[in-house]
Structure formats: structure tokens, C-alpha cells
Amino acid sequence: MTAPRPALETATMVRAGEELAVDVLEHHLAVIDAGEESIHAFNLVTTELARSQARTVDAAVAAGRDPGPLAGVPVALKDNMCTRRVPTTCSSRILEGWLPPYDATVVTRLRDAGALLIGKTNMDEFAMGSSTESSAYGATRNPHDTSRVPGGSSGGSAAAVAAGFAPLALGSDTGGSIRQPAALCGVVGMKPTYGTVSRYGLVAFASSLDQIGPFATSVADAALLFDVIGGYDPLDSTSLNRPTPRVLSVLDDGVDGMTVGILTEFMDGAAPDVVARVNQAAEALATAGARVEEVSVPEVTLGLSAYYLIAPGEASSNLARYDGVRYGLRVDAEDTVAMNTATRSAGFGAEVKRRIMLGTYVLSAGYMDAYYNQALRVRTRIIEGFTAAYAHCDVLLGPTAPTTAFALGDKVDDPLTMYLSDVCTIPSNLAGHPAVSVPFGPGDDGLPVGVQLLGPALSEGTLFKVAAVVEAAAPDLAVPRITAGEAA
């Protein structure tokens, strides 16, 4: 398998009539055909939908019309984004067979940009997890080593891009669910500023933290996709009605004169090989003209605890609607309470139940102030901590995940240990800030390491500039070699 062609190049060629979208698509369908059995990146490959979109794109080009900035580029969607009349399951039994009657705003924007919707990717059930093992439809495997997890919860999207199934994918990031799998799969993954990408049609996990963002094999491709999906949406009350940073055009601006802070709290808990890679990235930034210094934001150490109070609290409410009345699974019973209970008990997996109960508990009378409200106050402190750091740093640098990809099954029975793998990504969600994970060579085990760049609200332009410099300095990472049946 050869290194995938960048999406930017594909779109340029298709728009110029130098390449047919149908050919681009068939190439990727062939790659999927060869590798999907060992990876299980998809819940559904939407072959016919993508083929029809490809024909439309080709017809538009033939007629002299511009199909848009993603013309002919296959994009994989995490299976928690609503696609009209295409199953959307959140990798949960409770939504099995559900056909949404509407498209998410990001889906509409992708369609309008000429993208080919190639499939719905596997994920942790309702995005609750860090390994994609909580999917009701089986785990996704890491293309770099199929005995390892791809990370999560957007593990299917990360694996799809890493495996060359699609040059681009969308994920959602509530506590690291884009960046952590991006790091573990050796691709670029980015969580935008809260409110930059519309959540309309994104099945909610924790509404005040969820953001949709891009996966790509390069910083430039991630920028291309971010520019398409970002921007104000009147259907989302939390969408920011202000100019969205356009990032693709500023990628080559460099880091000369910038200050980069190495976030010491993130380095403290990370594995030595991961720390070494982050330091190497810092050196590259210094070489490129940035001032690099160590920065401490002590408040971030409270992030994990606060997150596991806030996110389950919101989730317990967001997931109440799966009651067997209007859509999805129903398990019949004598009365409505029994039917709700039977449906939810059969339809949700263990991790989802765990978080619903945790969230119900922290919101319940008597505990609300000690847990949920206290966590919201911690959130204020974390924002204050970051604000102090950004008073003298343009961006912060640290690992995305404390380790490289862990083995399948390693942490499934130990929720707390699993939760700890998000320790470096959670603070950005609590603050609403953007952050990006850039692959930076292999760790000691040969598996990908991701370095994370964090910035203040709406600093996407700066982040992408720095990410481009980091990417250029990154040591080579072996391209995944997938052989059919390897996982069996």
C-alpha cells in the first residue's frame, strides 16, 4: 500500500477535471475491501450513496461547475452524526435501525462542498470511552498494530484515515475523543473552539463539551476540512456568530517570534518515550524561531475529576430520551415504566450505564452542590489557569496521550484507568479551547506518538501554523501494513 494522496491534491485534480471522483472513490472502496475485515473501522460503508455523489461531482465538473472545495474527496463520518435516511447508531443497540429524518449541519456542509460520504465509523457507544471497545458492534483495531486499540471514542474515524480507507474523517471530541485516537493512530486530529462547528445533528454526549472536528493525514488536509465544516449555524444556540478563523491560508506563516509553553503537568504523567518526542518537537519549534519555555498550569490536574462529574451529569439527561417510545429499540413490557426500563437495560452497554448512573447520582438531590456544581467551579479555575498561561504564551505544548496505543482488552474492566488516558485532553474541553494532535514519530514500541498543541479560544489559525512546523519536523512513522485476516 502506498502513502495516501492528500485530500487537497485530490480535490484540486477533480475540480480541474484531471481525475474523476468515481475513480477516487473506487480506489478507496478497494482499500476498504482489502483491509476493513481486520480493522473494523466502519459500522456501515455507504457505497451507493458515495457512488451517486461521485457521479454528481463528475457531472458538475463536466458541465463546467465547481463542485466545491472537497470535490471527490471521500469523508468518513463518526456514527453519531445524523445522516438523512442513512442509519446512525452511535454504536449502540438502542439506536439500531434508526434512520434519521434529517442531516446534521456538518453533513449538509460536506455535501455542499462536493465531498463523498463513504461511511459511518465505529465508535465507543455514545462516544463514552477511550478505546472504541465499548461499541455494541465490536472493537475497532489500530491499523499500526491490530492487537492494539485505536483509541477512542472516535477510533473508527482515526483508524479509517490511518488505514487509507478515507483521506478525511470527522470525529467528535468531548474529552479527547478526536485527539487521543488521532495520536494513537498516527494521524492529525483537531478539536475546535467550542461553538465553532455546529453541533446540530451531532447526537449529544455532554452538550457543553462536545465539538466536531477533523481527522486527516496532514495538517493541511485537516485545515481544509475544518474550513468547510466551521462557521455560524443558527440551528445551534451555542454556535459562535463571529468570523471563524480560516486556517488553510495561514499554514505557511511559521512560528518565528511566537512563545511556546511546554505544559509541565501534562509531561509529569506521560511515558518517557512520549516525553522524549514532545521535547523533540519543542526543539524543532525553537529551531524554527519560537521561544520555548516550561509553563505550569496547576489547575489542569483537576480536569479529570471535574470532567467525570460534568460529562456524565449532562449525559444522564441527554440519554434519557432513549425510552422506546419514538424511535430505536423497544423491549415490550406490561406498562410504560417497565418498558422504558427493559428497553434501556437491553439497549445500553455497561460503560453507558455506568456513566448514566454516575451522572444521575451527581445531579441528584443532596449531591448536586458537592459534585456537579463544584465541578463547574473547577471549570472556572481551569479557564483562569489557562488564561494566565496565555498571557505570555501563544500556544502550549504537551503529549496528547500519556502512552502509545494499549492492547485490546487491557483496560475494559478498569474504568478509572481507562479514564486516565484522557488526562491531557480533557482540560481543553472544559475550557472550550481548541487543540490539535500532530503525529510525531514512533514511540519505543514503534507505535505512533502524538504531540498536542493547545491555544486560547478562537486561536485555530495560530494552532495550525504551529502544527505545520511540528509536522515538518516529525520523524518518519511507518505506514500501516494491513493484511486481511491478520486480526483473526
Q: Which stretch binds other proteins (CB under 8 A): 8-16, 37-45, 145-153, 198-206?
A: 198-206
Considering only CA atoms, which of 261, 303, 312, 310 is closest in space to residue 422? Answer: 303
Contacts to other proteins from residues 230-249, by CB under 8 A: 234-238, 240-241
**Cβ 7 to other proteins shortest distance, Å:** 25
Is 19 in contact with 72 (CB distance < 8 Å)? Answer: yes
| CB closer to other proteins, 2 vs 237 | 237
Is 24 in contact with 14 (CB distance < 8 Å)? Answer: yes
Q: What is the amino acid identity at position 364?
A: S
Contacts to other proteins from residues 381-440, by CB under 8 A: 381, 383, 415-416, 419, 430-433
Considering only CA atoms, which of 22, 32, 229 is closest in space to residue 120? Answer: 32
Query: Is residue 330 involved in binding other proteins (CB under 8 A)?
Result: yes
Q: What is d(CA 152, CA 406) in angstroms, rounded to the nearest whole number? A: 12
| CB closer to other proteins, 98 vs 406 | 98
- Cell numbers linked to 233: 449555524
**Cβ 386 to other proteins shortest distance, Å:** 11
Q: What is d(CA 398, CA 408) in angstroms, rounded to the nearest whole number? A: 25
- Residue 284: which residues within 8 A CB-CB, separation 6 or more? 469, 470, 472, 473
Of the candidate residues 1, 320, 407, 478, the single one contacting other proteins (CB under 8 A) = 320
Query: Is residue 96 involved in binding other proteins (CB under 8 A)?
Result: no
Query: Is residue 464 involved in binding other proteins (CB under 8 A)?
Result: no
- State phi, psi for 390 to the nearest 5 degrees: -75, -5
Q: What is d(CA 412, CA 87) in angstroms, rounded to the nearest whole number? A: 27
| CB closer to other proteins, 87 vs 254 | 87
Q: Which stretch binds other proteins (CB under 8 A): 10-18, 380-388, 395-403, 404-412?
A: 380-388
Question: Is 177 a known active-site residue?
Answer: yes
Query: Is residue 127 involved in binding other proteins (CB under 8 A)?
Result: no
**Cβ 304 to other proteins shortest distance, Å:** 7
| CB closer to other proteins, 198 vs 404 | 198
| CB closer to other proteins, 430 vs 454 | 430
Question: Is 135 a known active-site residue?
Answer: no
| CB closer to other proteins, 274 vs 315 | 315
Total of residues contacting other proteins (CB under 8 A): 100
Of the candidate residues 8, 204, 397, 463, the single one contacting other proteins (CB under 8 A) = 204
Is 447 in contact with 404 (CB distance < 8 Å)? Answer: yes
Pairing of strands 211-216, 291-295: unpaired
Q: Which stretch binds other proteins (CB under 8 A): 55-63, 67-75, 221-229, 330-338?
A: 330-338
Contacts to other proteins from residues 267-296, by CB under 8 A: none
Query: Is residue 378 involved in binding other proteins (CB under 8 A)?
Result: yes
Query: Is residue 200 involved in binding other proteins (CB under 8 A)?
Result: yes
Distances (CA, A) of 445 to 38, 145, 160, 323, 403: 21, 10, 22, 45, 10
**Cβ 80 to other proteins shortest distance, Å:** 8
Q: Which runs of E-coded beta strand occur in 205-329?
A: 211-216, 259-263, 291-295
Q: What is d(CA 40, CA 189) in angstroms, rounded to the nearest whole number? A: 20
Is 173 in contact with 426 (CB distance < 8 Å)? Answer: no
Contacts to other proteins from residues 133-192, by CB under 8 A: none
Positive or negative: CA dihedral 377, 318, 149, 6? negative
Of the candidate residues 13, 34, 271, 342, the single one contacting other proteins (CB under 8 A) = 342
Distances (CA, A) of 431 to 4, 210, 434: 35, 12, 9
Of the candidate residues 32, 116, 224, 363, the single one contacting other proteins (CB under 8 A) = 363
Of the candidate residues 30, 62, 338, 484, the single one contacting other proteins (CB under 8 A) = 338
Q: What is the amino acid identity at position 214?
A: P
Q: What is d(CA 466, CA 453) in angstroms, rounded to the nearest whole number? A: 8
- Residue 414: which residues within 8 A CB-CB, separation 6 or more? none
Of the candidate residues 292, 358, 389, 395, the single one contacting other proteins (CB under 8 A) = 358
DSSP 259-275: EEEEEHHHHHTS-HHHH
Pick the catalytic residue from 153, 218, 421, 437. 153
Pick the catalytic residue from 154, 172, 177, 459. 177
- Cell numbers linked to 45: 460503508
Of the candidate residues 367, 388, 412, 445, the single one contacting other proteins (CB under 8 A) = 367
Of the candidate residues 165, 194, 406, 440, the single one contacting other proteins (CB under 8 A) = 194
**Cβ 279 to other proteins shortest distance, Å:** 28
Q: Which stretch binds other proteins (CB under 8 A): 144-152, 370-378, 447-455, 478-486?
A: 370-378
Considering only CA atoms, which of 453, 388, 426 is closest in space to residue 303? Answer: 426
| CB closer to other proteins, 2 vs 241 | 241
Question: Is 172 a known active-site residue?
Answer: no
Query: Is residue 201 involved in binding other proteins (CB under 8 A)?
Result: yes
> ω into residue 249 within 30 of 0, thus cis?
no
Q: Which residues are catalytic?
A: 78, 153, 177
